[in-house]
């Protein structure tokens, strides 16, 4: 996937920091928010989901697959920026 925007070292560092910060939030996010974070993280780091859909009995895998597929074709830079913004909002809401 060729990105129109370039991932700068500063953006990558901020994204990596947000990925670490989300692990230490005082209050665990709701499941739908966790799935949103997962989808954005995968889109930002891997790009479009090209993996086969999990089997119908793999509920957790299916939810994660769906979350990633929901952000299909989102630019990786945009996914990083949206992920960072969501983590900042979660941090602010936890205070």
| Predicted confidence (pLDDT) at residue 1 exceeds the cutoff of 70 | no
Question: Which domains does the chain carry?
Answer: 9-94 (1.20.80.10)
Q: What are 36-95's pLDDT values in tens digits?
A: 999 999 999 999 999 999 999 999 999 999 999 999 999 999 999 999 999 999 999 987
pTM over 0.85: yes
Residue whose structure tokens are 């979660």: 90
List strand residue ranges (DSSP E) for 2-94, in order.
none
């Amino acid at each position: 996937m060729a990105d129109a925007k370039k991932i700068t070292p500063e953006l990558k560092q901020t994204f990596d920091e947000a990925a670490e910060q989300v692990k230490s939030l005082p209050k665990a996010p709701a499941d739908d928010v966790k799935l949103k974070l997962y989808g954005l993280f995968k889109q930002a780091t891997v790009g479009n989901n090209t993996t086969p859909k999990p089997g119908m009995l793999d509920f957790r895998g299916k939810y994660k697959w769906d979350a990633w597929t929901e952000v299909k074709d989102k630019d990786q830079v945009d996914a990083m920026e949206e992920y960072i913004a969501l983590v900042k909002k979660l941090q602010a809401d936890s205070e």
